[in-house]
Amino acid sequence: MVLLKHISIALSAAVAAVGSALFIALNYFYRRRIWSPEVEYSMIKEEEEGGRGKRQVLVLGLDGAGKSSMMQGLTPSDQAKRGGHRRPTRGFNFMSLRAPTCQLDFLEIGGGEDLRRYWSEYLLKTHVLVYVVDSSDRSRLPLARAELHRLLKADAQLPVIVLGNKQDKPDALSVSELHAVLSLEEVGGRRLFLLAAQLACDSQGRFSQGAAHSLQAFQDLLMQLI
């Protein structure tokens, strides 16, 4: 009986040990699968590592500003039909485009409150910051201004293109009004540009002439900065 008791205790201990090990392992792998910008961005950089002539363009802005529409507009039509290099991944949208002199890697990070705290962590890996603003969302322009100035303070040298999007909306602020509302007169000693844009597309994914003009102006400026 004593021997059986010891065997029972030993088996219980073994089962407990195995159970603990499985619990730890499962928790480890589960945590590894919980998305975080650091993990996801590291995966993206590892995939792209080793290439030459690459330039990182970071695309930020509040949710609903039109960041994804801008990314879609830059994608060639044949790539867009196939999905191209677009990579929407839990708050990220990643796309690579070949330019005459280099490869442009666009990284869009979602603009929700839970993601904005991560924005500044990617400035060091970036060559140009594109900040998209909804010109017609007057109630949230103060928040857009605050987030923009937080980024500007985090990196005083990074070139910045501010896109005042949705200029086709009847209540949209003009470029001069946006310049004042975003307090861009306070920004000095850096390359910062404010462009008007209207990047919405129709139900079939086609951009208007005004949108095409906005995208062309943006691309020309971007290539000059790169």
Cα–chain-centroid distance for residue 84? Answer: 17
Superfamily of domain 53-225: P-loop containing nucleotide triphosphate hydrolases (3.40.50.300)
This prediction has a pTM of 0.71
Q: What is the rounded (10 degree) CA torsion for 226, 39, 68, 178?
A: -70
What tens digit of pLDDT does each residue of 68-92 get?
Answer: 888 888 875 544 443 333 443 357 8
What are residue 12's phi and psi, to 5 degrees? -60, -40
Q: How many CA atoms lie within 13 A of 131 on its CB side?
A: 27
What tens digit of pLDDT does each residue of 84-142 get?
Answer: 334 433 578 889 988 888 899 999 999 998 899 999 999 998 999 999 999 999 999 99
Q: Which of 148-157, 178-187, 198-207 has the lowest mean pLDDT?
A: 198-207
* Bridge partners (DSSP) listed for residue 57: 106, 128
Q: What span, in angstroms and rounded, lies between the C-alpha atoms of 191 and 84?
A: 31
